[in-house]
Each structure stands twice: as C-alpha cells, then as structure tokens.
Amino acid sequence: MQALKRVVYEVDGWGVGELWLEDGVVVWHELPRPKSHVPQPGFNQVADVVTRYFAGEDVPLNDVPVDLEYETPFLERCAIELRKIPRGEVVTYGELAALAGAPGAARAAGSFCARNRLGLFVPCHRVVAANGLGSYGSHGVAYKRRLLELEGAV
C-alpha cells in the first residue's frame, strides 16, 4: 500500500484545489478556491483531468477511482448513481434517492451531498432542490451555479 499523496493543482479563474490519493484512488478532493499563497503544483494524471475539466473540456471524471468504503450501503448507492448523471444534467434530491433504491429518502440524499468529500468525482453540484438550485455547502450557491454553467446545464 502506498502512502497517502497530496496533490495541489491550480486552475485559471477558479483558484487552487487539492487531491488526496491512496494507491491512485481519490480519497478526498478540495474544489479550487482563490488563495493568497499558491503552492507550486506538480503533475499528476488525476489533477490534469481536473484541470482540463475546469478549462471546459468534457473529460470522464466518473472513470477516476474513488474511495466509497466509508459510506453506508444506501449512501454508496447514492454516490454510484450520482456518478452516472451526465455532464450538464441535473436530478433532484428525491430523484437521486429513488435512483439509489430508497424513494422518499430525499433528505438523506441531501445530507450525503452536504458532506461529500469527493468533489467533482461524486458530482453533488448536479443535484438540485425540487423548487430551485439548492445549496452547495461552504462553496455556496454561486459556485454550484458556476459549475453547472461550465457543464452547459440550463
């Protein structure tokens, strides 16, 4: 087993983000934010894919292996189903719960999205409230809207 590896990447117009990988599997992802001090990024294949995503390329983020072992079976199904939602499309929290086999568990699906630690790889920004955009944790609704615009979502 390899040691945990931290990879820092910078994206023009978005800021600096971080990936944590173990044996090539993403275990944590911090979306880019503006920073006053920018560490020197190094090359990493996953960071390269993320950088290309933020440049507007339609790259397959659902192909990147992620660590879902920490989740309950229902929340793991939420993550698996969410990774199938195509770029530029959205589902509601209720639809995500139904896709994961638990219709009526919209609140649980929302709680999952609120604490998602895998950023773009489990794209919770593609989950919206039945009556609007919904929240996006500490990044805020404007960041969620920006990601959806980048993907061409209406």
Angle between helices 73-82 and 106-114 (to 10 degrees): 80
Report how far residue 27's alpha carbon sits from residue 33's, in angstroms, rounded to the nearest whole number.
19
Q: Please report, for residues 4, 77, 104, the alpha-carbon distance to residue 154 in angstroms, rounded to integers and kept in the order given.
A: 38, 26, 26
Out of 61, 96, 124, 127, pick the active-site residue. 124
Which residue's structure tokens are 């960071």? 47
Query: Residue 78 catalytic?
Result: no
Exposed e or buried b per residue across 77-88, where buried means at least 16 C-beta atoms within 10 angstroms of its C-beta? bbbbbbbebebe
- Enumerate the active-site residues: 124
